[in-house]
Amino acid sequence: MALDELKENDQEFDDRGIKYVVESSLYDRIKPIKVDYVTSAMGAGFNIMGNMPVQPSSCGSSCGSC
C-alpha cells in the first residue's frame, strides 16, 4: 500500500518493516515522529504522533470534517 511516492525533498524511514515518507520541511517541525500499530475496542490501525501543535476545530473535536 502506498499513500504517496518518494519525492526529492522527502525523507524515507523504515520502522520494524513499515516504510513511511515525510516531507523534509515538515519533519524538521514535528520530529520526533512515533508510529505504532494499536488495537482497541474501536478497532485497529496506525497511531502517528509528532510534536505538531494541535489545531482546535470548529466543532471542538479533532474530527477533521468540521
Residue 66 within any structural domain of the chain: no
9-53: pLDDT as tens digits = 888 888 788 788 888 888 888 888 788 889 999 899 888 888 876
Residue 5 within any structural domain of the chain: no
Residue 35 within any structural domain of the chain: yes
* Cα–Cα separations (whole angstroms), residue 6 to 10, 14, 39, 65: 6, 13, 28, 27
Residue 28 within any structural domain of the chain: yes
The dihedral over CA atoms of 55, 36, 50, 16, expressed in degrees to the nearest 10, equals -150
Containing domain of residue 24, as a range? 10-49
How many independent structural domains does the chain possess? 1
Residue 23 vs residue 1, higher pLDDT: 23
Which pTM was predicted? 0.51
- What is the pLDDT at residue 39? 95
Give the other-Cβ count within 10 Å of 47's Cβ.
Answer: 10
